[in-house]
Amino acid sequence: MTVQAEALRRFVQTVVEAGGSTPTEARSVAHNLVEANLTGHDSHGVGMLPRYVDNLLAGGLQANQTLRVVSDHGSLLTLDGNAGYGQVMGEQAMALGIARARQHGVAVLGLANAHHIGRIGAWAEQCLDAGLVSIHFVNVISEPIVAPFGGSDGRFVTNPMCVGIPVAGADPIVLDFATSRIAMGKVRVAHNKGETLAPGILIDDQGQPSTDPGVMFREPHGALLPFGEHKGYGLAVACEILAGALTGGITLHGRPSPHAIINNMLSFIVDPERLGTAARLTQETRAFADWVTASPPMPGQRVQLPGEPERAWRCQRNMDGVPIDAATWSQLLAAGARLGLEETALRQIAQA
Ligand code: NAD
């Protein structure tokens, strides 16, 4: 089925409010999840909601939290997300970081202990709207599902990193990816659709290559591989330590609670105006962008800049709506039912 973005937002907002959130919190969660679908990242879209409901009911996700400032030294901030909705904690943390970057030229922000903060590109986009460059390193405290380079079982999660660069008068650069070959949510989406995955992404519980996303949903489960062999693995290690330790958060070791997905994030936010290089940043980025995208394309391809695919998806899905596969849809209805919402009423919201 296909659902229009506005109806999908109302659907998510209804479920999150039924979980005890204020309308403002529920709106933020709904906006953020639907944005992930709109930008083509169904892995981090509304399909996450059933897991959020499970975690909420099990006490691993707390509704209506406010960011706690652990330490404040002007351009250096350490924050605790109190296991609150990452959509809200992320937004509050970036707002603080943006204000400090404007004041001091740069802000270094440690956000520890937020529940799942979703698509990291959203936080770069918040900084881009303020004309600021940002770099984000994230770790994930959840069931370990990514194998280290040379290893054969999951030891960490999909640790994403993200860079946002504003370009005056042109589209920004937004690089935002998991350090695993693909995000776990994309394995879930393939599993829900009954599809197989390309070779080189998964290993089974014996460490053998597999194309079956089911290896991640049966016990003992298999693992995702890091992208780029030792390089992606190395970046995942850097994310784990920068986000999980330098922020005052935790790194993954042992088996964490199955009732939460905790994210820690270290963010650097820089004001190019204050650095005195804003004009050069624009001029050189535009020159390089023109140069690099002029590379003669390989057959059937074209050179794009990071952030371009998401803009194209957003354009298309804002017009056509967001496709929701049958398994995800029934998981969403079941999540609503767990919070006492009638299936018929939820169907009506999605179809309105
Ligand atoms: P992906 O593999 O789709 O890569 C996306 C990045 O690559 C984007 O910057 C995109 O613009 C760029 N890109 C894609 N195709 C391109 C092309 N042809 N040319 C140039 N650039 C191109 O993303 P992913 O690794 O599947 O991650 C998906 C999302 O999952 C991200 O938003 C990430 O932040 C999120 N994530 C979140 C968590 C979490 O714990 N919160 C964990 C992992 C991933």
The CATH number of whichever domain residue 45 belongs to comes to: 1.10.1530.10
Q: Is the peptide bond before 23 cis (omega within 30 degrees of 0)?
A: no
pLDDT at 183: 87
CA 238 to ligand 1 center in whole angstroms: 18
Same domain, 29 and 66: no
Same domain, 144 and 260: yes
CA 177 to ligand 1 center in whole angstroms: 3
Asked if residue 118 is part of any domain, the answer here is yes
User: Which of 194, 225, 256 delimits the end of a domain?
Assistant: 225
- Give, using CA atoms, the residue closest to atom 32 of ligand 1: 119
Asked if residue 312 is part of any domain, the answer here is no
Same domain, 218 and 257: no
Same domain, 132 and 242: yes
Taking alpha carbons only, the member of 112, 175, 182 closest to residue 141 is 112
Q: What is the spatial distance between Cα 325 and Cα 339, in angstroms, rounded to a whole number? A: 22
Asked if residue 74 is part of any domain, the answer here is yes
pLDDT at 188: 85
pLDDT at 186: 86
Domain count, the chain: 3
Q: How do the pLDDT tens digits run along the chain, 352 residues long?
A: 999 999 999 999 999 999 999 999 999 999 999 999 999 999 899 999 999 999 999 999 999 999 999 999 999 999 999 999 999 999 999 999 999 999 999 999 999 999 999 999 999 999 999 999 999 999 999 999 999 999 999 999 999 999 999 999 999 999 999 999 998 888 988 998 899 999 999 999 999 999 999 999 999 999 999 999 999 999 999 999 999 999 999 999 988 999 999 999 999 999 999 999 999 999 999 999 999 999 999 999 999 999 999 999 999 999 999 999 999 999 999 999 999 999 999 999 998 8
Ligand 1 in reach of 139 Cβ (< 6 A):
no
Ligand 1 in reach of 177 Cβ (< 6 A):
yes
Beta strands (DSSP E) in 271-336 are 322-323
The residue segments making up the domain with residue 36 are 1-58+323-352
- Axis crossing angle, helix 121-129 with helix 86-104, rounded to the nearest 10: 40
Asked if residue 217 is part of any domain, the answer here is yes
Same domain, 241 and 130: yes
Same domain, 150 and 249: yes
Q: How many residues does the chain have?
A: 352
Q: What is the spatial distance between Cα 296 and Cα 288, in angstroms, rounded to a whole number? A: 15
Same domain, 204 and 136: no
Same domain, 342 and 200: no
Same domain, 245 and 193: no
Ligand 1 mutation target, pool 158, 177, 181, most atoms within 8 A of CB: 177
Q: Which residue has the tokens 């960011």?
A: 67
- Give, using CA atoms, the residue closest to atom 39 of ligand 1: 118
Q: Which CATH number belongs to the domain containing residue 140 in this structure?
A: 3.30.1370.60
Same domain, 115 and 175: yes
Are the C-beta atoms of residues 2 and 323 closer than 8 Å to each other? yes
Same domain, 188 and 53: no
Are the C-beta atoms of residues 159 and 215 closer than 8 Å to each other? no
Asked if residue 316 is part of any domain, the answer here is no
Q: Is the peptide bond before 220 cis (omega within 30 degrees of 0)?
A: yes
How far, rounded to the nearest angstrom, does the alpha carbon of residue 258 sit from its chain's CA centroid? 19
pLDDT at 143: 94
How far, rounded to the nearest angstrom, does the alpha carbon of residue 34 sit from its chain's CA centroid? 12
Provide the 8-state DSSP code for 351: H
pTM of the predicted model as reported, rounded to 2 decimal places: 0.97
